[in-house]
A and B are shown apart, each in its own frame.
Chain A
Amino acid sequence: MSRIVFLEERCKGCRLCVEACPAHILRPSGRFNRQGYEMMEMSDGKCTGCASCAAMCPDVAIRVFRQGAA
């Protein structure tokens, strides 16, 4: 399975990634970073590594890893 990682100190909790994810696997985490923003997290479900979330993230807070060869 592919996966994404949030650079948590950059996240501002705007949720544009949640909205953009075609697999609907992102959600608010209930945890807050040092800036006071609620961070997002990946829930159970299949991440395809499409990077839609990262494309919409205004804070360059998402890193995407895709499973499989190039």
Chain B
Amino acid sequence: MQSERRNAALRPQKGERLVFDASPVLNERPLHYCPGCHHGIAHRLVAEVLHELQVADKAILVASVGCSTFTYDYFNVDSVESPHGRACAVATGVRRARPEAVVFTYQGDGDMTAIGAAESLHAANRGEKITAVLINNTVYGMTGGQMSPTTLLGQKTTTTQAGRTMGNDGGPIHFAEILAQLGGVAYSCRCALDSVKHVREAKKALRRAFDVQIAGLGFGFIELLAGCPTNWHLDPIAANKRISEAMIPVFPLGVFKDAGQEGGGARHA
């Protein structure tokens, strides 16, 4: 960046070390997401993991539909777009065609758990050696905050204006727990992006979700509880509070399956 060259403050001074900077796997384009949206944190974590594993040059991103459609505008990796919900099926084709690549999807809750539930579930069940990143913010973000399968009971959205009810809409779907039941899944966990501690845990889990793919153990899955201040009609700080106070009690954090752990066998030839 030109401004960077002019601005000496952006370089380490005498006695200083640069301890935090953007991963080179992310390009310099400013993100288009709303203020306080957690997509940016998730992008950063994925980029850092790809960089640390030194696999960006053989990574293939399968993008989804929603706010995250434009994920590929920010990652310096080869990418392909997929129709709404179909990312795990597209990733299956990529994986079979390019066995040496590191393949990952990046999807929202509407994309992955509603319209793409079948494709996601079956790619997981086949033990496709891919990593799927699910951003769960309990709404369809891009289309304007409609109810998604992960919307909390009582949550008001533009299509549940009096709040989601069990009688009419069913309850929030627990994708990490569901996938953990499948033989092909090597790793399934849920993390949150609402606090420094949780973000750091998420990074470690994300690394594991890629590790199991690279080790050939099977399907790696991580669900990230994320904020959507715009469609929740909350400021970013209040949105973060909602994650810890309202979402985590419904969507418990943790590792639901790890093939590397005792008894977590999902090993596939």
Cβ of A52: which chain B residues have Cβ within 8 Å of it?
196
Cβ of A67: which chain B residues have Cβ within 8 Å of it?
15-16
A56–B16 CA distance with the chains assembled, in angstroms: 22
- B21-34 CB mask vs A (1 if < 8 Å, else 0) is 11000100011011
Cβ of A28 < 8 Å from any Cβ of B? Answer: no
Number of A-B contacts (CB under 8 A): 90
- Whether A14 contacts B18 in the complex (CB less than 8 A), given A19-B237, A55-B200, A56-B196, comes out as no
- A44-68 CB mask vs B (1 if < 8 Å, else 0) is 0000010110111111101111111
Cβ of A12 < 8 Å from any Cβ of B? Answer: yes
A42–B200 CA distance with the chains assembled, in angstroms: 23
Can you add 15 more A-B contacts, CB < 8 Å, to A58-B40, A68-B15? Answer: A9-B3, A13-B35, A16-B236, A49-B19, A58-B41, A59-B40, A60-B43, A62-B20, A63-B10, A63-B21, A64-B18, A64-B20, A66-B16, A66-B19, A67-B16
Binding site for A on B (CB under 8 A): 3, 9-10, 12-13, 15-22, 26, 30-31, 33-41, 43-44, 195-196, 199-200, 229, 235-237, 240
